[in-house]
Chains A and B, each alone.
Chain A
């Protein structure tokens, strides 16, 4: 059973719904309705409000879009970097290829979470929320490329050793011409890498945010909303606190379904 088309459609519908929620007149993820903290669902606040009286539905919609846009951009950067390093390592002389792969090993030897903690903790204390979001995804992009680069390297190496490449060399094709024909052959390898990176980065951002080291308030983020679950008083008042977690899991399932079958 092919889940990918249905998952892609559902994801598109979810993104569209989030955009519509944000485009509503008066919708603001940071506006505080101080008369109604932790309000239950109503026509004004369809998913209730958080402890500061902010509309939960708007915040979830903004978190979804922010996380998807950030993760997609980071995945694109990671894939491009991996494509560059992997191809270079495969086709360049060993004096360049070997250090490039050693660099991959060095990055792979560092568990992501610790490296993220280290980089995130060394950022300025006065970072604005928008900058913290950009930095979070930039750091994810900067740390995510080695695993992809390994995969690209293997693919590029098998291309380099393929029969048609030998024929191309024998026929007198120059390096630049060969690159022109080789690179399109790497696209089937790069696309799954890109699609796998998107949910990976969404999860990483959520985990980082849940530790208080992700995107800064008042910008909404999955991790920031997971922090709401730490407040047991809030959980007793409204079950809508679980809404962001449920939506996050649903979105990740859809992203995984799209990625796995690619």
Chain B
């Protein structure tokens, strides 16, 4: 297959996935058992007329084709629909928060990669590295993100970047350590070491090039994990980003906002590397 055809195939698959994500999310929400209930119906301050109006509004948005066309036309207009809670275009809520979340993600991923790469390079070399090097990473992975963020907040040390970076670094470390260790024990690397090549040269000339393709997969996995961790981190540290917006939208049943944020996140994952296979240690949420 030529490079052009491969790019076209990737593009087609990406577009298909994004469209399917949009349709699938809409269907999922439409057929969720509480879709037609509205939090405002429980509010005693609303008069009967208002309740009737809410019921009519729910009935109007009952049809799936109507929902899908509203979703698509919202994206086509560029406002991604109207927020149920705030009554403003969803894009007006999302755009100011994109930079906040993007900055947080970027800083966290960079710090995590630096930590993980340094730690895995330090612990890979040697004949039989101690398994106790894995202990901090294992411990960090056993702490739910929300608990880690809350404990950092209570200890008044560390912020959202540190929490996200620690979580990501623990996963990155396990992945990198395994990849580096496998490459380090390759027969040609063993021979290079036996011939007296220094560790730094072996790493630069043989080990790092061997794991380069896996680093691309790691990048996309970092994005996926960071996107899932961003909600509890932003909520607990009160960071005004997309995660906090999604959480608020979930609490207020503001489904247009939630759908739009989910779409953006799916787009980020698809563009970030097209969902490669996840190794076992990456499966935690």
> Which residue numbers of A lie inside 8 Å of B, CB to CB?
1, 102-103, 105-106, 108-115, 117-127, 147, 150-151, 154, 192, 196-197, 199-200, 203-204, 206-207, 210-213, 222-223, 226, 229-230, 232, 235, 245, 248-249, 252-253, 256, 259-260
Contact status B37-A154, CB under 8 Å: no
> Which residue numbers of B lie inside 8 Å of A, CB to CB?
13, 16-18, 20-21, 24-25, 28-29, 32-35, 37, 39, 41-42, 131, 138-139, 141-147, 150-151, 154, 224, 227-232, 235-236, 246-247, 249-251, 253, 255, 258-259, 261-262, 265-266, 269-270, 274-275, 277-278, 280-281, 283-285
Contact status B232-A211, CB under 8 Å: yes
What CA separation (Å) do A105 and B283 show in the bound complex?
A: 15
Q: How far is the CB of B128 from chain A (nearest CB, A)?
A: 13
**What residues of chain A lie closer than 8 Å to B224, measured between beta carbons?**
111
Q: How far is the CB of A153 from chain B (nearest CB, A)?
A: 9
Interface centre among B18, B150, B281, B283 (most CB of A within 10 A): B283
Across the interface, A111 reaches (CB within 8 A) one of B16, B29, B228, namely B228
Q: How far is the CB of A51 from chain B (nearest CB, A)?
A: 16
**What residues of chain B lie closer than 8 Å to A111, measured between beta carbons?**
224, 227-228, 262, 265-266, 269
Contact status A253-B17, CB under 8 Å: no
What CA separation (Å) do A50 and B246 show in the bound complex?
A: 30
Contact status B278-A206, CB under 8 Å: no
Contact status B150-A226, CB under 8 Å: yes
Interface centre among A123, A126, A154 (most CB of B within 10 A): A123
Across the interface, B42 reaches (CB within 8 A) one of A125, A151, A229, namely A125
Contact status A256-B142, CB under 8 Å: yes
What CA separation (Å) do A126 and B150 show in the bound complex?
A: 29
What CA separation (Å) do A235 and B277 show in the bound complex?
A: 42
What CA separation (Å) do A235 and B41 show in the bound complex?
A: 37
Across the interface, B21 reaches (CB within 8 A) one of A106, A150, A235, namely A106
Contact status A121-B147, CB under 8 Å: no
Across the interface, B270 reaches (CB within 8 A) one of A109, A112, A154, namely A109
Q: For A125, give the chain B residue with the smallest CB separation.
A: B37
Q: How far is the CB of B66 from chain A (nearest CB, A)?
A: 17
Known A-B contacts A110-B25, A204-B285; A105 and B246 likewise in contact (beta carbons under 8 Å): no
Contact status A114-B150, CB under 8 Å: no
What CA separation (Å) do A108 and B41 show in the bound complex?
A: 35
Contact status A210-B275, CB under 8 Å: no
Across the interface, B285 reaches (CB within 8 A) one of A207, A249, A256, A259, namely A207
Contact status B277-A151, CB under 8 Å: yes
Across the interface, A119 reaches (CB within 8 A) one of B28, B39, B236, B277, namely B28
**What residues of chain A lie closer than 8 Å to B258, measured between beta carbons?**
114, 117-118, 121
Contact status B284-A229, CB under 8 Å: no
Contact status B144-A203, CB under 8 Å: yes
What CA separation (Å) do A126 and B41 show in the bound complex?
A: 12
**What residues of chain B lie closer than 8 Å to A212, measured between beta carbons?**
251
Contact status B42-A196, CB under 8 Å: no
Contact status A124-B33, CB under 8 Å: yes
Contact status A207-B145, CB under 8 Å: yes
Across the interface, A120 reaches (CB within 8 A) one of B143, B250, B280, namely B250
**What residues of chain A lie closer than 8 Å to B154, measured between beta carbons?**
229, 232, 235
Contact status A260-B24, CB under 8 Å: no
Contact status B141-A121, CB under 8 Å: no
Known A-B contacts A117-B258, A197-B283; A122 and B253 likewise in contact (beta carbons under 8 Å): yes
**What residues of chain B lie closer than 8 Å to A127, measured between beta carbons?**
34
- A-B pairs, top 4 by smallest CB distance, nearest first, are A122-B32, A210-B146, A124-B34, A121-B250
Contact status B280-A192, CB under 8 Å: yes
What CA separation (Å) do A123 and B31 show in the bound complex?
A: 10
Known A-B contacts A119-B28, A125-B39, A213-B250; A114 and B261 likewise in contact (beta carbons under 8 Å): yes
Contact status B29-A122, CB under 8 Å: yes
Contact status B16-A102, CB under 8 Å: yes
Q: How far is the CB of A214 from chain B (nearest CB, A)?
A: 10
Contact status B262-A115, CB under 8 Å: yes
Contact status A211-B34, CB under 8 Å: no
Across the interface, A105 reaches (CB within 8 A) one of B17, B34, B138, B250, namely B17
What CA separation (Å) do A113 and B284 show in the bound complex?
A: 11
